[in-house]
Amino acid sequence: MARVDTPLPDEVAHAVGTYLRAADRVLPGGIVAAAVGGSIALGAHRPGASDVDLVALLDDDLRGRRDLLRRLRALHVSQLPRLLGRAARGHGFSACCNTAFVWESDVSLPVSRIEPVASHTGELFDARGAFDVNPVTWHELDRGGIPVRGGDVATWNLDPEPSALRDWTRQNLRDYWVPLGTRVATGKGPLSASRVEWCLLGPARMHATITSGEVISKDDAGRHALETFPEHAPILRVALARLRRTALPPNPPRTQWRHRTAAAMQAIIAATL
Q: Which one is predicted more confidently, 15 or 270?
A: 270
Q: Which of 35, 4, 26 is nearest to 101 (CA)?
A: 35
Instruction: Express as a percent the part of the chain with pLDDT over 70.
Output: 91
For residue 70, is pLDDT > 80?
A: yes
Measured in degrees and rounded to the nearest 5, phi and psi for residue 134 equal -155, 170
pLDDT-derived band at 7, boundaries 50, 70, 90: confident
Residue pair 16/54 in contact (Cβ under 8 Å)? The answer is yes
- 48 vs 256, higher pLDDT: 256
Tell me the C-alpha distance between 54 and 242, whole Å.
Answer: 24
Q: Residue 206 in contact with residue 176, Cβ under 8 Å?
A: no
242 pLDDT exceeds 90?
Answer: yes
Per-residue pLDDT tens over the stretch 196-240: 999 999 999 999 999 999 999 999 999 999 999 999 999 999 999
pLDDT > 50? residue 87 = yes
* Mean pLDDT value of segment 84-107: 75
* Distance in angstroms (rounded) separating the CA atoms of residues 267 and 272: 9
Residue 9's pLDDT is what?
Answer: 80
On the question of pLDDT at 10 being above 90, the answer is no
Q: Strands of 118-121's sheet, edge to edge?
A: 124-126, 118-121, 97-103, 52-58, 31-36, 146-149
Residue 243's nearest CA partner among 188, 202, 183 is 202
pLDDT confidence bin for 94, thresholds 50/70/90: low
pLDDT at 25: 95
pLDDT single digits (tens) 149-208: 998 999 999 999 999 999 999 999 999 999 999 999 999 999 999 999 999 999 999 999
What pTM was computed for the model? 0.89
User: Which pLDDT score, from 0 to 100, does residue 23 have?
Assistant: 96
Q: What is the mean pLDDT of residues 56-78?
A: 95
